[in-house]
Structure 1
Amino acid sequence: MTSVAPDNRPLLSVVPDGNRHGSRSYLTCFFRCGNACDKPEPNPTDHAHIRDEITRAVGRRGVLAGGAAGAGALVVGSVLTGEAAAAPLAGDLRRKGVLGTAPFRPVVPNKRDAFTTATGFGHRVVMRWGDAVVSGAPRFDPYRQSVAAAEKQFGYNCDYVGFVPLGADAALLVVNHDYTDENLMFPAGVYTDDEIKRISMVNHGMSIVRLTRASTPGSWRRQELKKAPQNRRIHIRTRFKVTGPAAGDDRLKTTADPTGRVVLGTLNNCAGGMTPWGTVLSGEENFNQYFDKGASEFPAELADSYARYGITGTGTRGWGTVDPRFDLSVEPNEPHRFGWVVEVDPLEPRSTPVKHTMLGRFKHEGANVTVARNGKVVAYMGDDERGDYLYRFVSAKRFSDRKGAAARRHNKTLLTEGTLYVARLTGDGLEDDVHDGTGEWIPLCSDKRSFVDGMSVADVLLFTRLAADKVAPTKMDRPEDVEPNPVNGKVYAALTNNSNRGGSMAVDEANPLSSSMVRANLAAPLTPASGNRNGYVLEMTPTGRDHTARTFTWDLFLVCGDPEAPESYFGGFDKSKVSPISCPDNVAFDSLGNLWISTDGNVLGSNDGVFRVPVAGANRGQVQQFCTVPKGAEACGPLIADRDRSLFVAVQHPGEIAGATFEEPASTWPHTDDFPRPSVVVAYRDR
């Protein structure tokens, strides 16, 4: 069976029925990343892989199978130190941390076409695909879509969510629009092929929307447009300024931009982060899939760099037919203008967003910034590809905590000068039951000097993957969100999974919640061949709690999966008292330092969702599912805000299930129409 679009609506490819892995449909894999998992890993090196270190640890089944907290616990680095057993945080913080401290009965795994929260909590939809963002936006009508309308409406597939407070009763919501699914967006026979492509192009990007507080504490609603001067849509035709040492390089120059300093648009924006100076960072991820080869071959001298970034010239979207800059035979440098971290200032709606070359070019999941003890800012980043690396950036200048426009202007330059590093993780756990994880940050370049033989500063920043390959960092399993915890000073990295290193993906359709690639063989030991079944969460501690230090220790905080599986591990917490969790994607923290995890592609037979996990005290590692998202969707964000009374979740691609079309949807969530609409939800305590 294959999914075939109705007559007169182009289907970008023939897509197999069923799921590619876990709950992720072939459609999601096709539209989101161009079926990256079906292709060989673009990293050809034989560098050490995180799986080898972790497999040695989790393969000690007797160690992992312990029940109560601390019993048989896996220790990687300092996983069970005195800090882990510390007393709960101070009472004044506990009273403020509503979401962080509220007891709740975990949501039961389910396949409902609904956004389901724990008992005692409610939710409301804040923004939907097509809702008006700026003045003049027409009422959304799926049969009357246009480029002009889409440029003023909330884009498709919401991912990262940022929150900028504006006094006591207002805030700005900043949302990424990751990718489009033309099967679900367009009714058959209404639009031409070119119209579909052009409308889809402007549905990518970002939205900035002013919110106002609703009546229930923690709940928010969108502000009417006449009172929302900061509202803004950023799309494929928005001008971006290129900053940093690679700006103006010949390899960034195109026919439309002979300066190499101005780029139109941002693509495939995945995760992101808020800066201490009130701007938003957004990561350009699977940009490689948007480029076609066109009528002739691209230049031979670009073959190696194209290959390392998965740029084949067989783009699945056909954009080159409506915009020649996506035709590699016409504009071979255009791919070099994507794959960056972009910075947007929500407080200045007329400002020009920037692309920061100093943070390197790769498939950025996102970037998250903290201020180190010496005042320098440090950004942590992951390259979301099987077999690629973890990175960090340390600024040359120091953060100013002064008030006023001058200090803010200074802080907005901090990501243009500094040093870019890549991570190497090692361990010595071959002779005993304690695996001491250590790591170092290897410098790649500063804004003035390259540390990679044979490569200039611009070479390193434009082709960061190739530069990193030369210094032997550790290959990872899809390093996605990498965020510093503002309470304990540690850094948490979600390694979602590596689906090409798993066992059987077969699911018992008669009982989907009791079968999965893990449950199919619960007793089997984890080996390098069986791979990363459900994902890990790493916990990294900078030496001396100094984020500018060159060394760190790392702990295996979570080995996700079914609690009954021998390899799963939950920070030493009793495995009989946790929720199953699979495929950690994005992470966030509340004011107590609790870790909140959203998942993407659950392989345990349930919809994806969001989970709360304490990282310290007696409940360290107690994974509890707070909510699930509708059928076919993934949970994005999450964002903990409003002094921990609000949880924002972006519900991406609801109903993206093989065989679904606009006319025959697999979901109608949020149930305001007879077709699905990706939306942002805020959850809050309602009793």
Structure 2
Amino acid sequence: MSLDRRRFLQSGTAAVVSLLAQRHADAADPAPSEPGRSLGFTGVPASLRDAVVVPPEYEWQLLYPWGTPTGVPRQPMPAFAPDGSNSAADQALQAGMHHDGMHFFPLATPDRALLVMNHEYTDEQLLHADGVKEWNAEKVRKSLHAMGVSVIEIQRTARGGWRQVSPSPYARRVHGRTPMRIAGPAAGSPLMRTAANPAGDEVFGTFANCAMGVTPWGTYLTCEENFHGYFGGPKDAAKTATPAQRRYGTVPGSQWVEYWRFDERFDLTRHPHEPHRFGWVVEIDPFDPEARPIKRTALGRKRQESATCTVARDGRLAVYMGDDARFEYVYKYISKDRIAVTSDGPQARANSRLLDEGTLYVARFDADGRGRWIELTHGRHGLDAASGFADQAEVLIHARLAADVVGGTKMDRPEWIAVSPDGEVYVTLTNNTQRGDFGKPGPDAANPRANNFFGGILRWREDDGDAASLGFAWEHFVLAGDTDQPASGARYPSPDVDLFGSPDGLHFDRGGLLWIQTDMSGQLIGKPPYTALGNNQMLCADPATGRTKRFLTGPNGCEITGCVVTPDRRTLFVNIQHPGESRDDGEAKHNSAWPDGDAPGSARPRSATLAIRRRDGGIVGT
């Protein structure tokens, strides 16, 4: 094991020691004392200001906006071109667009770390100098380079802030054209084979990267979410789309961008298996720039949201995942074998098979507050050739259809999942305005509101506190919304709660505080029924009391996402995604120039990473 990975494991960020000891507290953790749980910061009001607003006793620092050179060694460092004229080659060496999930990996050198983050999707109007007036192959390449993952090195400054280290031997971009392996039960399946890769075990790229996870052995798991929008074809070919293609949204004519015209692998009529190679959890080793990323097919294919790792009582790995679409499911994967631990802790190579050999489950939430994990294994629960599954590979490639067969509970857009220090599991259910519509599933116990505009957070505790259990008890932590609107059905766990809607990102810090981030649609912010909620925001909650306080509000049109607190709890990293995003009559508009301009139109808005700290250097959240 490298010294750098050892530093990460020993830092407690991965919570390896405590997890493998049935979650006993790591002696190095800052104690979850009352000051750490008090939410003593000055809450900020809901706001429609085109600005980042934090409590007055805090300050924020702009760290890594779109277009910043990543600092790859022995490569050019192209500066961001404010007019959008950077080339595709430039973009492959710069911060991507639309920052999302993120994690902090301490290095062996004191006060240095790797910050790894996702870049979810592209705004083609901003990305190119002439917007979308004309598509060509260079634009396709640039767009693919603007998604994926950044690995950057950062260093703490003398006054407690952070700066990017550039160049860095660790720095790299993983993007939509990066070579990577396919592993697990679906690798080599006929449904994974293409003309370019007849073996079905290699693929170019990862994109649509939303939430994430971190393994106990120090690797990063990036999740491919809305991959479907990048595949297309002639609209008249839609009539031949299969039920599986329709369920996954890979239907000719429904594409968001015109990749298929200039990169044939995105043409569904020519390469119908290529979309099967996306929608996976991808493992990246941030400490080894030469290591190829690996798509882990045992975790199932879906619009992948979150890959939150924890450790079962017997030492096996458990991974919690959501599928971010209306009426989709919550999943859990349990490895076949235990995590291998040496005197240096878990090692990546020794545990590389844990994400390939195991069992995938889907959650059923029953009306009595109990739940059950139902196995998605070929030959069980009706998953056989008669129901359309020839083998386990097809069960995993079409995990959504398998979950339908076994009777999982259709949820209101399950997104980020976080596990508290005491083992409770929380999932955000962002919204579902179609629940109860004609022909659509109606309310149920876990999703109790028709036309659910505001979403909520649900939590459960596995039986015996063991992540390998197949039964659990669940409850609603919050049904979000505006309590002044009786029709919203909002219910909070405590009267001492600041209002919010459409929860998305979740993160537990080491003191047990829960950080909540929201993602209301940019075209609806400030309009009924969201008027009182202002711009998207981040809140901090004490799960023990339900007390929840607004900590940050963001610029116009943005989503607040990607959250991680350093092991010493002195810095909070947050991503501001797609500032200015709005729509008018279906046409993209931008109502912000954050962070570079003073007014809309004065600069291209740029997604960016912020480092937030208390001015006195104290613990964040207090």
Give the TM-score normalised by structure 2: 0.84
Aligned partners of 1:438 and 1:151: how far apart in 2?
A: 48
Q: Which residue of 2 aligns with 1:640?
A: 565
Residues 190/453 of structure 1: CA separation in 2 closer, same or farther (3 Å cut)? closer
The counterpart of 1:253, out of the listed 185, 193, 203, is 193
Contact 1:97–1:643 (Cα < 8 Å) also in 2: no
Q: Which residue of 1 aligns with 2:288?
A: 348
Partner secondary structure for residue 408 of structure 1:
coil
Residues 660/199 of structure 1: CA separation in 2 closer, same or farther (3 Å cut)? farther
Contact 1:100–1:591 (Cα < 8 Å) also in 2: no
Match runs of 1:60-71 below 5 Å: none
Residues 180/440 of structure 1: CA separation in 2 closer, same or farther (3 Å cut)? same
Q: Which residue of 2 aligns with 1:568?
A: 490
Amino acid at match of 1:492: Y
State the Cα deviation string for residues 477-527 of structure 1 (Å, max 9, x = none).
Answer: 000012222x11010010001123499xxxxxxxxxxxxxxxxxxxxxx99
Match runs of 1:207-246 below 5 Å: 207-217=150-160, 219-225=161-167, 228-246=168-186
The counterpart of 2:583, out of the listed 658, 671, 674, is 658
The counterpart of 1:478, out of the listed 405, 413, 435, is 413
Q: Which residue of 2 aligns with 1:596?
A: 515
**Structure 1 segments unaligned to the other structure (5+ residues):** 1-88, 429-436, 504-525
Q: Which residue of 2 aligns with 1:20?
A: none
Aligned partners of 2:314 and 2:32: how far apart in 1?
A: 31
The counterpart of 2:455, out of the listed 535, 546, 551, is 535
Matched, 1:205 2:151: no
Contact 1:563–1:579 (Cα < 8 Å) also in 2: no
Q: Which residue of 2 aligns with 1:110?
A: 47
Contact 2:381–2:406 (Cα < 8 Å) also in 1: no
**Structure 2 segments unaligned to the other structure (5+ residues):** 1-25, 438-445, 617-622
Give the TM-score normalised by structure 1: 0.77
Amino acid at match of 1:652: Q
Partner secondary structure for residue 474 of structure 2:
strand
Matched, 1:139 2:79: yes
Amino acid at match of 2:166: E
Task: State the 1:561 CA deviation.
Answer: 1.4
Partner secondary structure for residue 79 of structure 2:
coil
The counterpart of 1:607, out of the listed 510, 535, 547, is 535
Partner secondary structure for residue 93 of structure 2:
coil
Aligned partners of 2:576 and 2:212: how far apart in 1?
A: 16
Q: Which residue of 2 aligns with 1:452?
A: 383
Amino acid at match of 2:113: A
Match runs of 1:200-349 below 5 Å: 200-217=143-160, 219-225=161-167, 228-294=168-234, 297=237, 300=240, 303-314=242-253, 315-349=255-289
Contact 2:29–2:510 (Cα < 8 Å) also in 1: no
Aligned partners of 2:588 and 2:323: how far apart in 1?
A: 37
Partner secondary structure for residue 581 of structure 2:
coil
Aligned partners of 2:434 and 2:380: how far apart in 1?
A: 38
Task: State the 1:388 CA deviation.
Answer: 0.7
Residues 203/189 of structure 1: CA separation in 2 closer, same or farther (3 Å cut)? closer
Aligned partners of 1:91 and 1:151: how far apart in 2?
A: 39
CA-based RMSD: 2.8
Residues 561/130 of structure 1: CA separation in 2 closer, same or farther (3 Å cut)? same
Amino acid at match of 1:251: L
Contact 2:144–2:177 (Cα < 8 Å) also in 1: no
State the Cα deviation string for residues 613-639 of structure 1 (Å, max 9, x = none).
Answer: 1111xxx11110111111110001111
Amino acid at match of 1:457: Q
The counterpart of 1:181, out of the listed 110, 113, 123, is 123
Contact 1:184–1:661 (Cα < 8 Å) also in 2: no
Matched, 1:622 2:557: no
State the Cα deviation string for residues 170-201 of structure 1 (Å, max 9, x = none).
Answer: 11111111011122333338985214333212
Residues 130/462 of structure 1: CA separation in 2 closer, same or farther (3 Å cut)? same
Aligned partners of 1:496 and 1:161: how far apart in 2?
A: 19
Residues 189/406 of structure 1: CA separation in 2 closer, same or farther (3 Å cut)? closer
State the Cα deviation string for residues 120-173 of structure 1 (Å, max 9, x = none).
Answer: 011101101110012312111144311111111111111111111113211111
The counterpart of 1:160, out of the listed 98, 101, 106, is 101
Task: State the 1:292 CA deviation.
Answer: 1.2
Q: Quick one: higher RCO (CA 8 Å, sep 6+), 1 or 2?
A: 1
Residues 399/180 of structure 1: CA separation in 2 closer, same or farther (3 Å cut)? same
Task: State the 1:99 CA deviation.
Answer: 6.4
How many residue pairs match? The answer is 557
Percentage of matched positions with identical amino acids: 38
Aligned partners of 1:426 and 1:663: how far apart in 2?
A: 41
